[in-house]
Structure 1
Amino acid sequence: MIKTKYQAVLDLGEALNIQNGDVKEDNGVLKIKGTAKTQYEKNILWDKIKEIGGNNPTDIKANITVADDSVYARHTVKSGETLGKIAKHYYGNALKYEEIFKANSDILKNPDVIHPDQELIIPNLK
């Protein structure tokens, strides 16, 4: 029953390709663990858990580690995107585009020129 309640979390974990995943039910508590690629993906999972169970759920225990904590995320540019839109998506603030530009100065020469299929580093903010 508890697994059914959190099925959306499990589905999201599959969609994100969480590695070393394990799910167990123990005395009415769902215990999940796995490794997300980046902190951003870990945050998405936790947001889904909180959406279903509230800010401090007692019926789920999650141990999610991060494989690459040197970056917040990696993003493949899609047609029509700008650094501002990407910054708004990851940080909630379009003005943080400068952080993304700096982190990718090896491949970007102008913050107004990005191309589809470029893979950008979304840096951890200090």
Structure 2
Amino acid sequence: MGIFDFIKDVGEKLGIGGDDDKPDADALKKEVEKHGLEADDLKVEVDGDKVKVAGNAPSNSIREKIILTMGNVLGVSKVEEDIKVANAEPDASFYTVEKGDTLWNIAEEQYGKGKGAKYNVIFEANRPMLTHPDKIYPGQVLRIPPLEG
């Protein structure tokens, strides 16, 4: 179980309109489904700008993508999760995109100098939420998986 922080004023807009635009549990579940992220018994509760999510995921990467899908929504500042994982794998770290960042320079910062070409590892780790390596924005939170080998 973990609690993850996000920037409340940045992200996908899922609300139904108006100044007090906040996503509800059904909208967040639909966002997870839209990205093809499968989890059994997915339960979502929204309390103001905090989201609680629980269920069972087939892998840690799916678990992390569910957290990011919900956290990268306008109006969400925290995601508290209790998602059980069927197949254990190493945790990824999370990185908040800053103004001027590219996946190349994030890869260099996270994996080491001369490893900018590993940007595709980060891109693939964040699909389907990312549709193109150049389409990241400040405040967005990305998964940074460990490099293999």
TM-score > 0.5, shorter chain as reference:
no
TM-score, normalization: structure 2? 0.37
Higher relative contact order (CA 8 A, sep 6+): 2
Query: Rg bigger for which structure?
Result: 1
Which one has the bigger helix percentage?
1
